[in-house]
Chain A
Amino acid sequence: MGETNEESVNGQPQPAPEKKTRKRRSSAEKMAAMQKDISVGEFFHKNRHLLGFDSARKALLMTVKEAVDNSLDACEEAGILPDIWVNIVNTGSGRCRVAIQDNGPGIVKKQVPKIFGKLLYGSKFHRLRMSRGQQGIGISAAGMYGMLTTGKPVKVVSKTSKGRPAHYFEIQINTKLNTPEILNEDGNGIDIPNGEVGQAVLQDHEIEWEPVSHGTRVTIEMEAQYHRGRGSVDEYLEQTAIANPHAQIKYLPPDGREVFYHRASEVLPPEAEEIKPHPYGIELGTLIYMLKHSKSMQLTSFLSEAFSRVSPNVAKEIVTEANVRINANTKKIGREEADAIYQAIQRTKISAPNTDCISAIGEDQLLKGLHHVVPAEFYVAVTRPPAVYRGNPFQIEAALAYGGTPPVRKVSLDGLEEMLSETESRTLRQFLTTNFDGIGTSGANNIIEAAELKVRTSPSKMKPRERKRLHEAMQGINLSASQSCNVYRYANRVPLLFQPGACAVTQAVMQLNWRTYGLSQSRGSMPNGPITLMVHLASVWVPFTSESKEAIASYPEILKELRLALQGVGRKLGMYLRRRQKVKHQGERRQIFKRYLGEVAQAVHSLNGCDREDLFSQLLQVAKDQTAEADMQFDESGQVVEEPEMDLGENVLIVKSERDD
């Protein structure tokens, strides 16, 4: 960080200063007076964008996301089927109050302040175990954002079991010291006993609490703006519901709606196991740190104890390869030897890490989740076997939903009017593309044209008649060909809503040739069609491209697994589409024949006076025979074979549409 003034702003070296009269601007001594600890809190204060709290729009989402992720993590760790409440209230002048509650294990009284009032404090950082959170910044960062923008503390209620009292804290973070300060009751918080007494306490202090026997509720007031569409809380919760069919979410947004995601599955994901790091995944710095902090012991035993897949034999191999004494002690290992060991590890053949530690969502649950939230006619899911990148086990899953009504056609006129009045988009086209998935610019243009409106019309200034026309055009639009695919990305079951372009998932989707599977796609871009694709990466350590956890890094091993998973769902989709095409074709043929038969019968009747009805029904019979014949399949020897039921395997779900011919 620019310590000296000579460092140029944009990183380009400045011309050497002229010698003669130039006065020194500063000195090492003067500068030393200014050099001091930067508190994490202060750092965050200035760099909140790094954590995703960079705008009033995004802050709301980030807060809900951090809290919900924590709730789901806690519930799963404690083996509880999660119930989650999300409540957003507009408190006026650009502020919102957000409350998130769960029925998780709760947090013991003395931990609460640190968890919500200290950055970089958590249970997940130091272990290698699959979980949503990993850094220990999440929820306290949200609390700090609230405090910085409104001056209000974070309010936490937590209860650990039926018999114990709940406790209530109002916590503020001291940004200089990165320590929590409890504001209520002289720094002691309040205990809320069970029963009626407790009820009275809740009422007295205006504490909101859904009655559960254990759980945690966090409430944060912040500068924030509620909106819908892309990158919104609504979107995040919807996608969360897809990837977590075992969770139930009750959501009350500030616009008075009640959104309720039922539990689609009663099965908790299997417990993720903690593992020791694999040597291939370790960095030199970490290795040195581990050596320094380990007990005094033989190097070989250290290696086989601290790492997975390192047997005493493998440990010996590494040490020999590194040219270090075989019975060296960890305390005697210097930097150079550590480096030699690090190099040796890379050259030694070590078996891949145990992958049991990963709990994938699973094909069955994926289908359930997707079907529950995304209406479509065809679903397919593929869970790949676990693989390893840089010593970290990971697993890729992909699920695809095809068909169904696109979101533009689902919105009601009331809903649309509300969205129009709230939107920040300056033009109608922008409004459509940002609020409705899968329509793209061309789809938006078509809608606007059909509604006889102008692309540049300001959404907020539309007349009632124009809004009605827009709604009609949206209902009538046929997008199936031009519609572009929706991609939902997940890391450890957490939806990733931002930076799709930087993400390995997006890259893999665009690199795959979807035309093979019967979709249209221009080279190197998203496939087109009424498709929702969800891709999940589960890993003990998700390689994000930045701290804000928005995009997955493109390791070759990850890209390869992504490709294989996408091919898996693509192949099934292709089979389905081909079959559907055929059925549709037959149906259409019959339909076309049928539609002309009336005309033909009438005309023939007027030519030779035959019985119109008789002729019509005879022709209809011929039409049926003709198309039935065409429907049949022939095997290689030319024999007619019975059309087999479409059996695409276990990982596929086909929903019969109501208007089947």
Chain B
Amino acid sequence: MIKSQWLSTSSDKHEENLTLHLKENTVANESKKDPSAETEAEAKHRERDEKTNELLMSLADQLVKAAERKRNPTLEIPIRTQANVNYNKSRKIIELGKNKSQRQLFNLSQAKSFMQMILVASGCKKLIDQNKTTSIRGLYYMLKHTIEGTKEETFAKQSECDPMIEDVEVTLNALREELHVYAQSRGTMVGPITIVDSGDEIDCSRMGTGGYGIPSIVEDDIVQFKECDAKFVLHVEKDTVWRRFNEDKFWKEHNCILTHGSGQPPRGVRRLLCRLNSELNLPVYCLLDNDPWGYYIYSVIKQGSINLAYESQRMAIPEAKFIGLRARDFDRCGLSDSVKINLNDTDRRRAEQIKQYPWFSGKKRWIKEIDTLLANGFKLEVEALISLDVSYVTETYVPEILEAGPRQWLD
């Protein structure tokens, strides 16, 4: 239900804000006028926290009830594996299925993770009560301690804690951000757009060489779009390529927003791309390496990831397009043999797997693309284009492919 709340707000805004001046009531504007009055963003924030608190408490109540009735306290956790992931053809996103697994307190193999989940929940409650957020690593440290009377730690390492956070998210149907926890931010944005981030106005066309670091929480109570001249978003795979485009001022010349997500983009980047797409109607074009990993990143941006399928509806961008690199580019651009990187067994296996994904399998052009990659026997990184000319990718490759239009892109 929280998701739907989010969706509706987004779409409402979508309708309202067809102009480029987006929000009248930004934190930045409002707080200066009357610090005591609650802004729209603040109200939203509070409502959201109340909702989350309710969810957390219902989890606790459930447990108390079970104990009173002398039952084995049991949590039902939606399963987050490919087996429980469906591709919704009409919505074109990956959705979490209905399968749930049970986790019981009095079950030897589950007792500890049960305890850990409850701990995570109590940690989130504390964060919400204090109106603070923390990283997943921070939460881990917050909850890590020695269990009384033993030598055992509540969490031995962070990798024990992270999945518990995801379990709480899916079980409560609450998002990480709603739980006041964020993941590491690893993405950057630049371009003709002005945003407000926690009340600070940021003009993303004046970010120098570094760009605006996309935070992991970009919900509209934190980040608001103020002004935008961009016509589209170019998302590139990683920092090195992004720098090339920024240095060549590609975004100025082509009037676009330029982002990267350090490989598989983190939630903040995906959410921001999604908002740019849905709220500002900006098409999203992806420039990724020509290898199974690049295909997969595209798939995650477009349909959502298997692991976070429950987040797809607010992260996936079904209209996103894949503009390159393509397996045919080696011949088409006349690249030299030295830029080839041979496919290894894992690559081949991944490629075959991707071909099987329901959201790829029906698309002839994609199948052909992957088959060409496999036939080539090598992969290509975007940087390979540098062998032709430092700025070939920004001055020739991307402009040409954008010019050529949808028939030359992959969807």
Contact = CB atoms under 8 A, between A and B. Distances in A.
Interface of A: 589, 592-593, 595-596, 598-600, 602-604, 606-608, 610, 615, 618-619, 621-623, 625-627
Given A592-B108, A596-B112, A623-B106, A615 B64 contact: yes
Contact of A600 (B72, B118, B126): B118
B148 interface: yes
Interface in B56-77: 56-57, 59-61, 63-64, 66-68, 70-73
B301 to A, nearest CB: 36
Q: Which of B61, B73, B122, B149 is packed against the most chain A CB atoms within 10 Å?
A: B122
A618 B67 contact: yes
A607 B121 CA distance: 8
Interface string B225-266: 000000000000000000000000000000000000000000
Nearest to B113: A596
Contacts of A619: 67, 73, 105
The 8 lowest CB-CB distance pairs between A and B, nearest first, are A607-B60, A608-B60, A603-B122, A618-B67, A596-B115, A626-B106, A603-B118, A608-B57
B194 interface: no
Contacts of B59: 607
Q: Which of B64, B119, B154 is packed against the most chain A CB atoms within 10 Å?
A: B64
A579 to B, nearest CB: 19
B111 A593 contact: yes
A595 B121 contact: no
Given A598-B147, A618-B68, A619-B67, A603 B108 contact: no
Interface string B69-102: 0111100000000000000000000000000000
B114 interface: yes
A596 B64 contact: no
A592 B149 CA distance: 12
Interface in B29-71: 56-57, 59-61, 63-64, 66-68, 70-71
B72 A622 contact: yes
Contacts of A603: 115, 118-119, 121-122
A604 B58 CA distance: 10
A581 to B, nearest CB: 14
B15 interface: no
B57 A600 contact: no
A394 to B, nearest CB: 50
Q: Which of B57, B61, B118, B149 is packed against the most chain A CB atoms within 10 Å?
A: B118
A598 B149 CA distance: 10
Contact of A607 (B56, B112, B114, B152): B56
Contacts of B68: 618
Contacts of A595: 147, 149-150, 152
Nearest to A602: B122
A599 B105 contact: no
A606 B152 CA distance: 22
B125 to A, nearest CB: 5
A621 B71 CA distance: 10
A604 B111 contact: no
B60 A622 contact: no
Nearest to A598: B148
A599 B155 CA distance: 12
A116 B60 CA distance: 88
B65 to A, nearest CB: 10
Report whether over half of chain A's contact residues are helix, strand or loop; otherwise say mixed: helix
Interface string B107-151: 010011011001101100110000000000000000000011110
A625 B64 CA distance: 17
A595 B112 CA distance: 9
Contacts of A608: 57, 60-61, 64
A600 B70 contact: no
A602 to B, nearest CB: 8
Contacts of B148: 598-599
Contact of B119 (A592, A599, A618, A626): A599
Contacts of A602: 122
Contacts of A621: 70
B212 to A, nearest CB: 37
Contacts of A596: 105, 111-112, 114-115, 147
A622 B147 contact: no
Contact of B122 (A607, A610, A626, A627): A607
Nearest to A588: B108
Q: Which of B68, B111, B150 is packed against the most chain A CB atoms within 10 Å?
A: B111
A592 B105 CA distance: 10
Nearest to B154: A599
Given A607-B56, A607-B59, A607-B122, A599 B115 contact: yes
A625 B66 CA distance: 14
Q: Which of B66, B67, B111, B154 is packed against the most chain A CB atoms within 10 Å?
A: B67
B64 A600 contact: no
Given A589-B108, A592-B108, A607-B56, A600 B63 contact: yes
A603 B117 CA distance: 10
A604 B60 contact: yes
Nearest to A627: B106
Q: Which of B63, B114, B125 is packed against the most chain A CB atoms within 10 Å?
A: B63
A622 B71 contact: yes
Given A610-B64, A622-B71, A625-B70, 9 more contacts: A596-B105, A598-B149, A602-B122, A604-B122, A607-B121, A622-B66, A622-B105, A622-B106, A626-B72
Interface string B210-223: 00000000000000
A593 B105 contact: yes
A88 B372 CA distance: 90
Contact of A606 (B70, B122, B147): B122
A610 B61 CA distance: 9
Nearest to A599: B115
A264 B57 CA distance: 66
Contacts of A598: 147-149
Nearest to B71: A622
Contacts of B121: 603, 607
Contacts of B126: 606
Nearest to B58: A608
Contacts of B60: 604, 607-608, 610
Contacts of A593: 105-106, 111
11 contacts: A592-B112, A595-B149, A595-B152, A599-B148, A603-B119, A606-B125, A607-B121, A608-B60, A610-B60, A619-B73, A622-B66
B112 A604 contact: no
Contacts of B149: 595, 598
Nearest to B105: A600
Interface string B356-372: 00000000000000000
A596 B147 CA distance: 8
A592 B106 CA distance: 9
